[in-house]
Amino acid sequence: MKNLIFLIIPILFIGCIKDDILSDTVDPVLRLTQKAEAIAIDESFQFEFIYLNNVGREESVAVTWSSSAPDVISISQEGLATALSTGNSTISIEYQDENGLLTDAFEVVVGDETVEVEETQEKSGQINTTSTYALSGDFTLTAEENNLVLVFDENYNASTALPGLYVYLTNNPSTISGALEIGKVETFSGAHSYSIADVDINEYSHILYFCKPFNVKVGDGEIQDN
Amino acid sequence: MKRYIIFFAVSFFFSISANAGGPWPQQKGIGYYKLSQWWLNFDQHYTDSGLIDPNVTTGIYNTFFYGEYGITDRLTGVINAPIFSRNFTNNLISGTTGETIVKGDALNSIGDIDLGIKYGLTKPGSAFPIAASIVFGLPTGKSVGGEQGNLQTGDGEFNQIFQIDAGKGFKIGKNINSYVSAYVGINNRTNGFSEEFRYGIEYGAGLFNQKLWLIGRLNGVESFKNGETAETINSTSIFANNTEFSSYGVEAAFYVTKQVGVSASFASAFRGEIIAAAPSYSVGVFYDLGK
């Protein structure tokens, strides 16, 4: 009997892996990504958009395209706009998902030449802790050819107590799911930078700091237009 | 490449039972043995600022064999061996999509074994016994495990703990034997871990003709913070250091027969840095040849 007790005790208390539920819902985003501020008469321009769902992941959806002045600019349901006569028109997209109606719009002039809206070359922001570990600092995100350069200012500061602190680009600051891992944090104070290959400057909305061993978010910062 | 991760399961949460430990060495040829199960589940921890943050639920389950044996009347050999140690983390699931964001993981192995000797600085039967101990914490567990390398059943370093215990037994009324003991110690650590100052005080009372012992404890660890941090360690490693805590605990030990008994204990940190913010529990069976 005594031996049986000795054997049973360990077996009774073996822990099992269960589930932790993370609240990771974000507002969906519908955004025109390729657009023209002017289209030359009788020319066409292909508009493009991106849809990020309620966890910040890009998803292919069918949107409704419209022109506020179809006699000035016509637009197909594939986003191909054609300038028909002089004037202005607002090109709009709409998508109804389970959370509501999403829209984006851009005003276009019919002119002498087609002028595509140039992509922002520099954005910036500020990271802040969302935990009780120290994390703060200003950053600048710059597009250089096909790469991004993420530069942190002198005022950057991060706790050295955390094991396995990583930095990400993400469209959902609650999770690393769908995020791009930039790398392990090796600098904990002062100016430093990361080079990120093959990423568009408009592709992600946030910088995320995440502790891998704890599987927990440490802080974030929204990437904002300058 | 050195790789270390945080080790929340501080062995001082583990507590031995009523009639072992303290400044009282075993008599020559007499032993005390205990098999116990210790466990800790936590979904939050004390951060380096002493505040509490959430973390993915992590569990640590250790099956300990603890033994003391009197080599002489003043010299006692001590072993505290986690003969089976399990460290796991839960799955992290998206509350929006139900998808698994980070898959749970588990590591099972033997843990870090403590081997030591205790020497009675005072004569056996002294009214105010004092004992000195040296304990070697052997890195027999796994310091890196699981798919992400973030699980461990040991800290991967060689501890050398030097400790002084003092105590006094006395009666409360006519029938209740009781004792109070305290210790201070230094843990000299290797591989870049900070040294530690350890301390504790314990009070126990034997009820019902010493069949039932009720014990209360306060324990603490203060880091010297003289080791490495994530900033100074090898850049490819995962490293956490400078764990501190103050904890309280209670234990009940009941002698089922003259020499065999069962025990149950509870301990929890009420202050800490880089340590679990959750209670630990232990149940065990002991065999006390000193009775």
Q: Does A118 touch chain B (CB under 8 A)?
A: no
What pLDDT shows up at residue A151?
A: 98
What pLDDT shows up at residue A2?
A: 55
Cβ–Cβ below 8 Å for A163 and B45: no
Listed by number, the residues of chain B in 190-219 with a beta carbon closer than 8 Å to a beta carbon of chain A are: none
Q: Does A129 touch chain B (CB under 8 A)?
A: no
- The alpha carbon torsion through A75, A76, A79, A83 (nearest 10 deg) reads -30
Burial of residue A189 (number of CB atoms within 10 Å: 0-12, 13-18, 19+):
middle
Per-residue pLDDT of B143-157, as tens digits, reads 888 887 888 898 889
Distances (CA, A) of B3 to A133, B96, B110, B157, B233: 21, 34, 19, 11, 9
CA distance B98 to A78: 32
Cβ–Cβ below 8 Å for A216 and B56: yes
- A218 HSE (CA, 13 A, CB side): 28
Q: Give pLDDT < 50 ranges for chain A.
A: none
What pLDDT shows up at residue B235?
A: 44
Provide the token pair at A204: 């992600």
Provide the token pair at B217: 């404890």
- Nearest Cβ partner for A15 among B5, B39, B284: B39
What pLDDT shows up at residue B64?
A: 95
Backbone angles phi, psi at A80, to 5 degrees: -90, 115
Q: Nearest CA of chain B to the CA of A7: how many Å?
A: 10
- Nearest Cβ partner for A131 among B47, B102, B104: B47
- The per-residue DSSP string of chain B comes to ----------GGGS---TTSSTT-PPPTT-EEEEEEEEEEEEEEEE-TTS-EEEEEEEEEEEEEEEEEEESSSSEEEEEEEEEEEEEEE-EEEETTT--EEE--EEEEE--PEEEEEEEESS-TT-SS-EEEEEEEEE--S-SSBSTTS-B-SS-SS-EEEEEEEEEEEEEETTTEEEEEEEEEEEEE--TTPPPEEEEEEEEEEEETTTTEEEEEEEEEEEE---S--TTTS-TT-------EEEEEEEEEEEESSSSEEEEEEEEEEEEEESEE-S-EEEEEEEEETT-
What pLDDT shows up at residue B175?
A: 84
Q: Give pLDDT < 70 ranges for chain B.
A: 1-20, 234-240
Set of chain A residues whose Cβ sits within 8 Å of the Cβ of B239: 163
Listed by number, the residues of chain B in 137-156 with a beta carbon closer than 8 Å to a beta carbon of chain A are: 148, 150
Q: Are strands A157-158 and A135-144 parallel, antiparallel or unpaired?
A: antiparallel
User: Within its chain, how far is the Cα of A9 from the centroid?
Assistant: 50
Set of chain B residues whose Cβ sits within 8 Å of the Cβ of A136: none
Q: Does B62 touch chain A (CB under 8 A)?
A: no
CA distance B283 to B262: 7
Q: ∠A122-A127-A132 over CA atoms, to 5°?
A: 175
What pLDDT shows up at residue B148?
A: 79
Q: How many CB atoms lie within 10 A of CB A190?
A: 12
Cβ–Cβ below 8 Å for A177 and B101: yes
Domain spans, chain A: 29-116, 122-225
Domains of chain B from N-terminus onward: 11-288 (2.40.128.130)
CA distance A135 to A128: 6
- A150 HSE (CA, 13 A, CB side): 26
What pLDDT shows up at residue B144?
A: 87
Q: Does B172 touch chain A (CB under 8 A)?
A: no
User: B17: closest CA among B278, B280, B257, B260?
Assistant: B260
What dotted CATH number matches A122-225?
2.60.40
Cβ–Cβ below 8 Å for A216 and B229: no
What pLDDT shows up at residue A7?
A: 53
What dotted CATH number matches A29-116?
2.60.40.1080
- B256 HSE (CA, 13 A, CB side): 9
What pLDDT shows up at residue B237?
A: 47
Q: Nearest CA of chain A to the CA of B191: how many Å?
A: 16
The ipTM (two decimal places) reads 0.87
- Nearest Cβ partner for B94 among A22, A165, A213: A22
Q: Nearest CA of chain B to the CA of A73: how many Å?
A: 40
Asked, colleague to colleague, whether A29-116 and A122-225 share their fold, the answer is: yes
What pLDDT shows up at residue B9?
A: 41
What pLDDT shows up at residue B250?
A: 97
